Amino acid sequence: MNIKTKLLLGIGIMAGMIILLVILSIVNLQILTATDPNSPAALPGLERALTWISVTGGVCILTGLLLLFWLPRSINRPINELTQGILEIANHNYEKRLMMANNEEFREVANSFNRMAERLAEYRASTLADILSAKQFLEAIVNSIHEPIIGLNKELEILFINNEALNVLNMKREDVIRNSAEELSLKNDLLRRLIRELVTPNEKKEPLKIYADNKESYFQASYIPINNLSPDPNDSQKLGDVILLKNITEFKELDSAKTTFISTISHELKTPISAIMMSLQLLEDSRIGALNDEQQQLSKSIKENSERLLNITGELLNMTQVEAGKLQLMPKITKPIELIEYAIKANQVQADKFNIQIEVEYPKTKIAKLFVDSEKIAWVLTNLLSNAIRYSKENGRVIIGAKQNGDVIELFVQDFGKGIDPRYHNSIFDRYFRVPGAKVQGSGLGLSISKDFVEAQNGKLTVESELGKGSKFIIFFKV
Ligand code: ADP
């Protein structure tokens, strides 16, 4: 029954009842006017009429009350059902259906609702299947990568990890996926190091030494930030990070073979070079026979080149010591001035050759002593002073000195030569790096070894330099 019929029926019943009530009242009134109210014959008719009026009135009130409850409820029920259905759909329950076959007005609405829910369910099933297959595909890709790989979201939860990574971390997939890497790292040293480097990146990324599959391997970690693909760069948001570990064991082995090779060669070269120097000394001895001018020039050139060779082999040997981790330090209490004097003495001949003035800047007041391997630091200062002389113009001047700032001692070497382009301020400390176009001969090893020697003793070596104005190299030591 539709709402219109229900309303018409309600109004019809009520109208019928009221008409009946009115007829009965009129009949009652006629009885009253036609008969003598005091005659006993009128009494039963009157009573009957009153009873009918009361019964009809009662039925009228009851029907009215019933209609009052039943009509709004019968209209509200389908509306409530529809609202409930919409809420279910909003909560992704696409299985919800409305049954309103008996309700004429809402039947169509219910049918449309059911059709919509059906479509939504189909759509979800298909997108879910698509998403699942895309996810499986991505997982297959991640697993087929032979290098360990770990994917994290912004909150540092592990979203994906391949078997290689599980192997080096020595963890199980089910313990890892969707878990906080920070919490997991409390019990895993390697993960802790990776997360620490991810959160607070530092410039010097040492290779990771990992013992897995009964062998020692070396890995270099790279951290790739993942941003959403927005065409507008201002709108780009970070989604997470991927940690990729590159297995560099093979390179490390080759590198160590190279270090051993250089070390052996430099060691072997030292003996013949020393023999050449000895022979030259004998040759220059007038007791053996005087050399003519041309021979003297040749002998001088052989001597200079042999010294250079000896220097280079010395540098190479130092480098191999650092690379093989065999740097042996023998620290002792040392006055900074002793180191400076050593460096000046070692470079005096070279400075005189280019007529370069070496000035010393040393505080008159007492300066703290250092606890360092004096041989190594003297070597560093000698190397810095040699550079300052080599990269200065003839007839120039260089300054070597020390000063104390609180509990920090600074040893410095300053020149007023060609200076270094700021682009190369970091690279000059790399092995074999030479500023492009440098005319002075060199190996590109001195500064990198110097840095290693200083840092091995908890010091710092920095450069301040401006093109055309000169350079200042400073060694810092805390006392
Ligand atoms: P090298 O044997 O080439 O001097 P170093 O490691 O000592 O090797 O220096 C690396 C490079 O840094 C040099 O090739 C040079 O270009 C630059 N350099 C070092 N010291 C100075 C300096 N005092 N003035 C200008 N350039 C310098």
Q: If you measure from the C-alpha of residue 386 to the centroid of ligand 1, how many angstroms do you get, rounded to a whole number? A: 10
- Looking at per-residue pLDDT, the higher value among 305 and 32 belongs to 305
Q: If you measure from the C-alpha of residue 297 to the centroid of ligand 1, how many angstroms do you get, rounded to a whole number? A: 28
Q: Residue 401: beta bridge partners?
A: 361, 412
Report the candidate in 89, 92, 178, 88 with the shortest Cα–Cα distance to residue 128: 92
> For residues 331 and 296, is the Cβ–Cβ distance under 8 A?
no
Q: If you measure from the C-alpha of residue 172 to the centroid of ligand 1, how many angstroms do you get, rounded to a whole number? A: 51
pLDDT digits (tens, 9 = 90+) for 442-454: 889 999 999 999 9
- Cβ of residue 444 lying under 6 Å from some atom of ligand 1: yes
Report the candidate in 52, 71, 76 with the shortest Cα–Cα distance to residue 13: 71
Atom of ligand 1 nearest to the CA of 445: 6
Average pLDDT on 32-58 reads 71
What is the pLDDT of the chain when averaged over all its residues? 88
- The yes-or-no verdict on residue 52 having pLDDT over 70 is yes
| CA angle centred on 451, ends 446 and 455, rounded to 5° | 150
pLDDT digits (tens, 9 = 90+) for 354-391: 999 999 999 999 999 999 999 999 999 999 999 999 99
- Cβ of residue 386 lying under 6 Å from some atom of ligand 1: no
pLDDT digits (tens, 9 = 90+) for 422-436: 999 999 999 889 999
- Please state, in angstroms and rounded to a whole number, the distance separating the CA atoms of residues 100 and 97: 10
pLDDT digits (tens, 9 = 90+) for 265-295: 988 998 899 999 999 989 888 888 888 999 9
* Cβ neighbours, 10 Å, residue 266: 19
Average pLDDT on 94-107 reads 82
Mutate to test the pocket of ligand 1, among 322, 390, 412, 420 (most ligand atoms within 8 A of CB): 420
Mutate to test the pocket of ligand 1, among 313, 398, 428, 462 (most ligand atoms within 8 A of CB): 428
Q: If you measure from the C-alpha of residue 437 to the centroid of ligand 1, how many angstroms do you get, rounded to a whole number? A: 11
3-state percent helix, strand, coil for the chain, nearest multiple of 5: 55, 15, 25
DSSP letters, 13-27, are HHHHHHHHHHHHHHH
pTM for the whole structure:
0.59
Assign 3 a pLDDT band (cuts: 50, 70, 90).
low
pLDDT digits (tens, 9 = 90+) for 146-198: 899 999 999 999 999 999 999 999 999 999 999 999 999 999 999 999 999 99
* Cβ neighbours, 10 Å, residue 139: 12
- Please state, in angstroms and rounded to a whole number, the distance separating the CA atoms of residues 474 and 450: 11
- The yes-or-no verdict on residue 403 having pLDDT over 80 is yes
Question: Strands, DSSP E only, in 126-180?
Answer: 149-153, 158-161
> Residue 71 has what pLDDT?
74
- Cβ of residue 415 lying under 6 Å from some atom of ligand 1: yes
CATH code of the domain occupying 145-247: 3.30.450.20
401: enclosing H helix or E strand: strand 397-405
Output the CA–CA distances (angstroms, integers) from residue 361 to 374, 387, 403, 435, 450, in the order listed: 20, 18, 8, 28, 21
Query: What residue spans define the domains of the chain?
Result: 1-139, 145-247, 263-323, 332-478
| Residue owning the nearest CA to atom 19 of ligand 1 | 387
Q: If you measure from the C-alpha of residue 269 to the centroid of ligand 1, how many angstroms do you get, rounded to a whole number? A: 24
- Looking at per-residue pLDDT, the higher value among 162 and 213 belongs to 162
Q: If you measure from the C-alpha of residue 305 to the centroid of ligand 1, how many angstroms do you get, rounded to a whole number? A: 19
Fold of 332-478: Heat Shock Protein 90 (3.30.565)
Going by the DSSP 8-state scheme, the letter that residue 99 receives in this structure is -
